[in-house]
Amino acid sequence: MERLSNIFWQERLWFPEGLGWADLVDRDGRVYAKARDLWVALPIALFFLVVRQIFERTVARYMASLLGIKETVRRIAAHNPMLESYYNTSKYPTQSSVKELCKQTGCSEKQLQGWFRRRRNQDRPNLMKKFCEASWRFLFYLLAFVFGLAALIDKPWLYDLEEMWKGFPVLTLLPSQYWYYMLELGFYTSLLFSVASDVKRKDFKEQIIHHVATITLISFSWCMNYIRAGTLIMFLHDSSDYLLESAKMFNYAGWRKMCNCIFIVFAGFFVITRLIIFPFRILYCTWVYPVTLYPPFFGYYFFNGLLLVLQCLHVFWAVLIIRMALRFLPRNEIVNDERSDREETDNSDEADEEKKEQNEKIKGNKPIQNGYVRHNNNHHKYE
């Protein structure tokens, strides 16, 4: 194990020729980033998880109540062990399975489809949970953006990207850079810990890849003292993320026009920062400029490889964002999040169904239990 570690940390892999770990030893009041500093991110991640729970149960819920958001009351599927057993293996029964289950349970096909529909909705997060998650991410991204701006506003590499590499890797670590890194790393680590319990969207796997790539990129850039490039990349991402979360919050509150306006601004920021500045400024500077100072080495390729993975995710999400932005065409006033697993019933449909059942009771007919509820495909939601 020790031999493998020695091979992995060879200086020729991670540093330009003629430089090594000895150059990053603290001396003469100059402090440098160290790999052991990354352990600080773990207690910070746990701290974020605790603070998030408190925030979502108090502040976020209070904000939701002020905006008129209430807990969604869903109609619960009747307990049926046979259907529940099948549901645990497949949430969407095939036509042949439906016929077989109808024979075994004595339910009609319409009743069976209604049961599965309601059972699936029970597993979907309600509006309150979505609002609380969005408000937590909004708070962090906004504070991170403000903190990053304060840390970089007076730094020359914010305006001249070539300054990122001048003196590399012997770049002194500043206190603002230290805390910016640790807070960002702790936050994304907390997201990785909580991803299983968070609202699952269609890009769940891409989110996992993004979190792992981000954590790896932050950790690697810290160990190899790519601090200046790392702070710029984090700041670039924070500059638009809080806009998306605020658009979601307004959407959940029913403020459609405000949501749409903010989403337009977010889409513009996303395209400019992720599809223009990131590839043509940041990536260009990390690929082209360093080789004018020293020959390429493994760490150079590894760092840029991670940035390319990040850029691929940017393109993937840009497609989804553009598809949502197209909903702003005439007669399309509400944006639908392409990543979301939409609920199969809405309140108006359930109200109609309840009214129908009450009418049937009045007429003396046996009401349909767990009956079919119509899904209005034209009612879009921005999840």
Whether residue 261 is predicted with pLDDT greater than 70 in this model: the reply is yes
221 touches 229 (CB < 8 A): yes
- Label residue 170 by pLDDT band (50, 70, 90): confident
Are the beta carbons of 242 and 141 closer than 8 angstroms?
Answer: yes
Residues 6+ apart with CB under 8 A from 59: 135
State the average pLDDT for the chain: 79
Indicate the range of 38-52, 174-188, 269-283, 310-324 predicted with least confidence.
310-324
Tens of pLDDT, residues 327-365: 765 455 444 454 444 544 444 344 444 444 444 444 444
Q: How far, rounded to the nearest angstrom, does the alpha carbon of residue 120 sit from its chain's CA centroid?
A: 23
DSSP SS3 for 30: strand
Residue 43 has pLDDT above 90, yes or no: yes
Four-residue CA torsion sign, 121, 126, 127, 129: negative
| pLDDT at 141 > cutoff 90 | yes
Write the DSSP symbol of residue 91. S
Say what the pLDDT of residue 35 is: 85
Architecture of the domain whose range is 81-125+342-363? Orthogonal Bundle (1.10)
Residue 313: the pLDDT is 85
Domain with CATH 1.10.10 in the chain: 81-125+342-363
Say what the pLDDT of residue 210 is: 77
Cα separation, 187 vs 207, whole angstroms: 14
Geometric angle at alpha carbon 201, from 199 and 207, rounded to 5°: 95
CA distance 264 to 331: 16
